[in-house]
Amino acid sequence: MQKLAPDFDFLFNNLNKIAYIFKDPTHFGSVNQKMADFCSCKVSELEGKSVSVILDQKEIETVKRFNQNIFNEGLRKKAEMEIEINKKLHTIEVDTIPHHNNQGKVDYLLCLAEDITAELEKEKRFYRNKKRYRSIFKKAPLAFVVSDRETNIIDWNDKAEDIFGWKKEEVINKNFNLIVAEDSYSEITEVIENVFEGKKSYNINKNIAKDGSELYCEWNTALIRDKNDKILEIISIAQDISEKIETKRRIENQKEELKYSELRTQFFANISHELKTPLNLIFSSLQLLDYKLKNTNFEQINHFDKYLASIRNNGFRLLRLVNNLIDITKIDVNTFQLHRANFDVIELIRSVVTSTRDYLEAKNRNFRFESSLDSEVIACDPFNIERVILNLISNAVKFTAEGDEILLRIEKEKEWIKISLRDTGIGIKKENQDIIFEQFRQVDQSFNKKREGSGIGLSLVKSIVEMHGGKIELDSIYGVYSRFSVYLPAETIDERTLAAESYSADSLLNKVELEFSDINYI
Ligand code: ADP
């Protein structure tokens, strides 16, 4: 056994490493306690003994060759070797240092070894994990976009290439905004700020692909921090939901279409009723007339007046309905034309009032007309403005009872001529105040309605007013009053048109009869 100097001995035994000496290539000299612990035996069982006490034949050969080499060459060498101790494979890292005697010959080898089995295992595990996550990252069915804290992209996976069309090499170091639609920049900044503050990490965004196409993605974002809580990376995971959104939109459109088609069906059911009622009345009046003509002498002929009046009124009802239908269809396909010219709108309305007065009195409505203007010339289509006013008055009669008040007022309000019609009738519920201006809409959609009508009058009124550059407003308290206010621009146009010259106030009486035919009940 190699004799050690006392200081060396102390050091040797207190080293935090496995230490042993080879006095020749296959025999131990001194061994320290750590070496004995590593081999699960006593120091005395190793010191001065052959390596065969711990190694098998194959391992002995390797160690022998290795040591022999150092004895011959006299050079320090490091090596990693695997040895089996107590049926467990260990990897040790051995630093073999040759000791040279006075003659310069190597007389023993000092070996310092470390058991690196656990460390290697950790490293392998880490490597395996890294590999595993790398393959998940690469092949995941979701797009992974990794960016630094300045939102510059530092990595992305195959699915991201697939969704956004950019190759990984093309996006590295580019800002995340590369894949964000321009109108969503501020939204993204807000999302990132929220994520930094640890708030919401989920959002849906409009993104943009390399070919410029837009897509909608569902994003989940997470921060990767180091152990000092400093943000290292932002990981954003995206799923392309454009198809889902498109399907949702299609379903919504279909629902809307279905609703509209139900409304149309309802409308045609109403219209059929509206067409049939006057026709039935016309035919029954004709039948009665026919019968009476055969059985009456000429003195009684004035009894026939009521049959003739019914035929006339119901003829007008049909005509009004057909006219309105034609016009609403024309408006729908943009072929409805106004014939505007400069007219005194006050005079126009005053003559409408005069011609309706008898009707209103007959219906026992308390009708008043007020105007703060004597005359005001504006550009309008007199025929259609009459229709608007007549329609509003006939509605006011339709939805009021005997004794109710109807007030028609004209005044100037800034650049508008405001014509308002207020009645103390049944009023209109808040939830119905917008829809009554839509085509085919009536508040009471039931088949056995108390009041006649097709639900196109107000939609036509609104279109006519808007085509004049005006607007119509409604305010109402259900059960108390309704007020329709028509605003027409107080402006004139340069030339009188031909259509304007062909206008004749004479036909107004027929038009009144036409507009009021719904409420005559004859
Ligand atoms: P209709 O031909 O059915 O009268 P309109 O388009 O003229 O069609 O009116 C639509 C609906 O608006 C009416 O069915 C009624 O419910 C409501 N309405 C219109 N004017 C009044 C009013 N002055 N008072 C109460 N309800 C009204």
Three-state secondary structure readout of 425-473 = CCCCCHHHCCHHHCCCCCCCCCCCCCCCCCCCHHHHHHHHHHHCCCEEE
**CA 260 / ligand 1 centre spacing (Å):** 19
Q: Does the CB atom of residue 395 touch ligand 1 within 6 A?
A: yes
- CA dist., res. 362 & res. 364, Å (int): 5
- Weakest mean pLDDT among 121-125, 225-229, 330-334, 475-479: 330-334
Task: Name 371's Cβ contacts closer than 8 Å, sequence gap at least 6.
Answer: 346, 349, 350, 409, 410, 411
**CA 452 / ligand 1 centre spacing (Å):** 10
- CA dist., res. 152 & res. 145, Å (int): 10
Q: Does the CB atom of residue 439 touch ligand 1 within 6 A?
A: no
**Residues paired with residue 380 on neighbouring β-strands, in sequence order:** 341
**CA 347 / ligand 1 centre spacing (Å):** 26
- Residue owning the nearest CA to atom 12 of ligand 1: 436
The reported pLDDT for the residue numbered 509 is 56
pLDDT at 393 exceeding the cut of 80: yes
pLDDT at 149 exceeding the cut of 90: no
Residue 28 exposed, middle or buried by CB count within 10 Å (0-12, 13-18, 19+): buried
pLDDT tens digits along 198-238: 887 888 889 999 999 999 999 999 888 888 888 889 999 99
The reported pLDDT for the residue numbered 147 is 93
- Ramachandran region, residue 402 (left: φ > 0; alpha: ψ -120 to 50; beta: rest): beta
- Weakest mean pLDDT among 70-84, 222-236, 374-388, 400-414: 222-236
- Residues 483 and 476: beta-carbon distance below 8 Å: yes
With CA atoms as reference, report the closest residue to 94 among 61, 116, 75.
116
The reported pLDDT for the residue numbered 264 is 75
**Average pLDDT of the segment spanning 320-348:** 83
Strands (DSSP E) along 59-142, which ranges? 77-85, 88-100, 106-115
**Residues paired with residue 89 on neighbouring β-strands, in sequence order:** 84
Q: Does the CB atom of residue 394 touch ligand 1 within 6 A?
A: no
Q: Does the CB atom of residue 443 touch ligand 1 within 6 A?
A: yes
- Residues 13 and 33: beta-carbon distance below 8 Å: yes
- CA dist., res. 371 & res. 353, Å (int): 12
Residue to mutate (ligand 1; options 388, 392, 420, 436; most atoms within 8 A of CB)? 436
SS3 297: coil
**Average pLDDT of the segment spanning 286-307:** 73
Task: Name 45's Cβ contacts closer than 8 Å, sequence gap at least 6.
Answer: 36, 53
For the CA of 437, the nearest atom of ligand 1 = 6
**Residues paired with residue 223 on neighbouring β-strands, in sequence order:** 234
**CA 395 / ligand 1 centre spacing (Å):** 6
- CA dist., res. 188 & res. 208, Å (int): 13
For the CA of 396, the nearest atom of ligand 1 = 23
- CA dist., res. 304 & res. 298, Å (int): 11
The reported pLDDT for the residue numbered 263 is 77
The reported pLDDT for the residue numbered 501 is 42
Cα separation of the two ends of the chain? 138
pLDDT at 504 exceeding the cut of 70: no
For the CA of 400, the nearest atom of ligand 1 = 24
Q: How many CA atoms, within 13 angstroms, populate the side-chain half-sphere of residue 228?
A: 2
Average pLDDT of the residues of the chain: 86
SS3 424: coil
**Average pLDDT of the segment spanning 308-320:** 77
Extract the tokens encoding 378: 């504006």
Q: Does the CB atom of residue 397 touch ligand 1 within 6 A?
A: no
Extract the tokens encoding 244: 């889902």
- Residues 411 and 421: beta-carbon distance below 8 Å: no
Q: Does the CB atom of residue 388 touch ligand 1 within 6 A?
A: no
Which carries the bigger pLDDT value, residue 145 or residue 292? 145
Q: What is the CA radius of gyration of the chain?
A: 50
Q: Does the CB atom of residue 455 touch ligand 1 within 6 A?
A: yes
**CA 340 / ligand 1 centre spacing (Å):** 27
Residue to mutate (ligand 1; options 395, 424, 515; most atoms within 8 A of CB)? 395
Query: How many residues make up the chain in this entry?
Result: 522
Domain 6-115: homologous superfamily in CATH: PAS domain (3.30.450.20)
**Average pLDDT of the segment spanning 414-430:** 95
Question: Which fold is adopted by the domain 138-240?
Answer: Beta-Lactamase (3.30.450)
- Residue owning the nearest CA to atom 23 of ligand 1: 396
For the CA of 441, the nearest atom of ligand 1 = 10
**Average pLDDT of the segment spanning 409-431:** 95
The reported pLDDT for the residue numbered 492 is 92
With CA atoms as reference, report the closest residue to 98 among 71, 62, 65, 69.
71
- CA dist., res. 219 & res. 123, Å (int): 34
pLDDT at 110 exceeding the cut of 90: yes
Q: Does the CB atom of residue 463 touch ligand 1 within 6 A?
A: no
SS3 209: coil
pLDDT tens digits along 440-496: 666 554 443 445 566 788 999 999 999 999 999 999 999 999 999 999 999 998 765
**CA 441 / ligand 1 centre spacing (Å):** 9
Q: Does the CB atom of residue 458 touch ligand 1 within 6 A?
A: yes
Select, from the ranges 195-204, 229-238, 345-354, 415-424, the one with the highest average predicted confidence (pLDDT): 415-424
Confidence of residue 298 (pLDDT cuts 50, 70, 90): low
Extract the tokens encoding 70: 């150092």
Which carries the bigger pLDDT value, residue 359 or residue 349? 349
Query: Residue 220's CB: how many other CB atoms inside 10 A?
Result: 14
Q: Does the CB atom of residue 234 touch ligand 1 within 6 A?
A: no
- Asked whether the CA dihedral 21, 27, 29, 34 is positive or negative, the reply is positive
pLDDT at 515 exceeding the cut of 80: no
With CA atoms as reference, report the closest residue to 388 among 377, 396, 399.
396
Confidence of residue 516 (pLDDT cuts 50, 70, 90): confident
Q: Does the CB atom of residue 453 touch ligand 1 within 6 A?
A: yes
Strands (DSSP E) along 118-262, which ranges? 143-147, 153-156, 202-208, 214-225, 231-240
- Residues 342 and 379: beta-carbon distance below 8 Å: yes
Q: Does the CB atom of residue 278 touch ligand 1 within 6 A?
A: no
| Residue environment code for 336-366, b if the CB has 16+ CB neighbours within 10 A, otherwise e | bebbbbbbbbbebbbebbebbeebbeebebe
- CA dist., res. 445 & res. 461, Å (int): 20
- Weakest mean pLDDT among 44-48, 179-183, 302-306: 302-306
Residue to mutate (ligand 1; options 423, 458, 486; most atoms within 8 A of CB)? 458
Query: Residue 291's CB: how many other CB atoms inside 10 A?
Result: 10
Confidence of residue 502 (pLDDT cuts 50, 70, 90): very low
**CA 462 / ligand 1 centre spacing (Å):** 13
Extract the tokens encoding 114: 């470390």
**Average pLDDT of the segment spanning 395-415:** 95
Question: Which fold is adopted by the domain 337-515?
Answer: Heat Shock Protein 90 (3.30.565)
